[in-house]
Structure 1
Amino acid sequence: MTSEPPAQALFDQALIEEATKKSGLIWVRGAGAPAARPLWHVWHEGAALVVGDGAGEQPLPGLTDGGAAEVAVRGKDKGGRLVTWRATVHRLEAASPEWEAAVAELKGKRLNAPDSEEIPARWARDCAVLRLVPTGAVEPQPTGSLAEPPLPTPATTRVPAPAALPRLLGGRRKRGQANRA
C-alpha cells in the first residue's frame, strides 16, 4: 500500500519550487555564516544550484558539503520575502554526470562572464558547484524586522565629497550650454 504525502507537504514543495524558480536571486545563510548572502542560482531537478568560491564568482560562506542552509526567497514584484526553507548542501564532483547537467544549466544563466567559453573548465578547476536540496516544510514567516547591519566591505567612502564639487560640475554644464546658444 502506498501512502500519499499530506496536502500541506505538497503545497510546501510546490511553493518552494515555484518561488525559487521565479526569483532572480536567493538569500542563503550557511551554517556558521554571520549573515545571509544574496546568491544567483538556477532551479534544476528539485534543487537550487549555485556556483562560487572561486576566481570571479560569488562567495559561498558557510556552505559545506553535507551541511545545512537556510534559504529565503523574495518576490520579483515588490522584493518582499515569499518563503523561507531549509536545505541540505551537496557539493557536486567535477565531471560527474550531475555536475555536467548542473553546469549546463548554470552556464546559460551566468551573466557577464569574462570567459564564457571557458566557464566549465574554470568552474571545475577553481569553484564549487552546490545543490541546495529542500528538506521539507517551509519555515514560518518571521515577525518583526530582520534588518541586519551591512557586511564589512572595503568599498566605502571614507571622506565626504568636496563641497565645491557640485558647483564645479554644474558650472561646466552651464558654460557648455551657453556656447551652444
Structure 2
Amino acid sequence: MTEQLLDRALVEEATKKSGLIWVRGGSGVQAHGVAGSDAPTRALWHVWHDGAACLIGDGPGEQPLPGLVDGGAAVVTVRSKDKGGRLVAWTAKVVELAPGSPAWDAAVAELKGKRLNAPDGEAMPARWARECRVLRLEPQAGTLPLPDGSLAAAPVPTPATTRQPIPASVPRLLFKRRQRGR
C-alpha cells in the first residue's frame, strides 16, 4: 500500500513539473507495459489537473494525438525538466472529455493558461470545442520500469516546416542595424 502511494506521488509530482511528456497509445499498449504499439511515441505538452495529465490536440494548429482513443491505454514517460532524462514511466487510461461538460470546462481553463502562441486568444476554447479533442490520461496502478538504451528514433513526418529561403531584405536589414549601433 505504501509503495502504491509513493508511486502515485512520484507520477503526480514528476508530471506536474515537466512541461513535456512522451506518450504512446494504441492497440499494442497493455495494462502492465508495452508489447509493441501501432502508434508512435510523441512528445506532448500537457497540464496536470485533478489527478491526470490533460492534453489538447487533433485540430488545426494543435498537436497530433495518434493512437490515443477514448477508453484506450497509453504509456507515459516523464522527463526531468532540468536535465531532460527519464524520471518515471506509467500506464494511463485515456478518457476523452465531452465539450461543454464540467470536466471539459475545468481542463480547458487550465490548458488555455499554458497554451503558447495561440492564434485566436480568447476564442480558443470555442475553437477547441468545435475542432479538437481534450483528453485526460489517468494514471493506473504502479509505475513501469524505465527502458534501457536511448530509444532514439527518427522524427515523425509532419507537414510543419521552418526550412524556407530567407527573404532577400533580411540580411540587409540586419547589417544596417549593426552599422547604426557603432
TM-score bracket for the superposition, by shorter chain length: 0.7 to 0.9
Of the structure 1 ranges 26-35 and 115-124, higher mean CA displacement relative to structure 2 is found in 26-35
Matches within 5 A, 1:46-125: 46-125=51-130
Provide the TM-score with structure 1 as the length reference: 0.82
Decide whether aligned partners of structure 1 residues 33 and 110 sit closer, same or farther in structure 2, where only a CA change above 3 A counts: farther
Which residue number corresponds to residue 165 of structure 1?
none
With 138-147 and 97-106 compared, the bigger mean Cα shift is at 138-147
Per-residue CA distance 1:119-167 (angstroms, 9 max, x = gap):
111011000000000011110121223122222245497xxx9xxxxxx
Identify the range of structure 1 (122-131 vs 25-34) with the bigger mean alpha-carbon deviation: 25-34
1:145 and 1:39 mapped to 2: Cα distance? 18
Letter in 2 for 1:137: G
CA-CA distance at 1:8 after TM superposition: 0.6
Q: How far apart, in 2, do the equivalents of 1:43 and 1:59 lie?
A: 19
23, 27, 33: which one pairs with 1:28?
23
Q: Retained in 2: the 8 A contact 1:95–1:124?
A: yes
- The percent identity for this pair of structures is 64
Residue 33 of structure 1 contacts residue 61 of structure 1 at CA under 8 Å; is this kept in 2?
no
1:128 aligns with 2:126: no
Q: 1:125 to 1:18 in 2, by over 3 A?
A: same
Higher Rg? 1
Unaligned runs of 5+ in 1: 1-5, 162-168
SS at match of 1:129: strand
Q: Which runs of 5+ in 2 are unaligned?
A: 27-36, 166-170
Q: Does 1:41 align with 2:41?
A: no
Q: Is 1:14 matched up with 2:19?
A: no
Q: Which secondary structure state, in structure 2, belongs to the residue aligned with residue 103 of structure 1?
A: helix
CA RMSD, aligned part only? 2.5
* CA distance 1:153–1:119, change in 2 (3 Å): closer
State how many pairs are aligned.
164
What secondary structure sits across from 2:94 in the alignment? Answer: strand
TM (normalized to structure 2)?
0.81
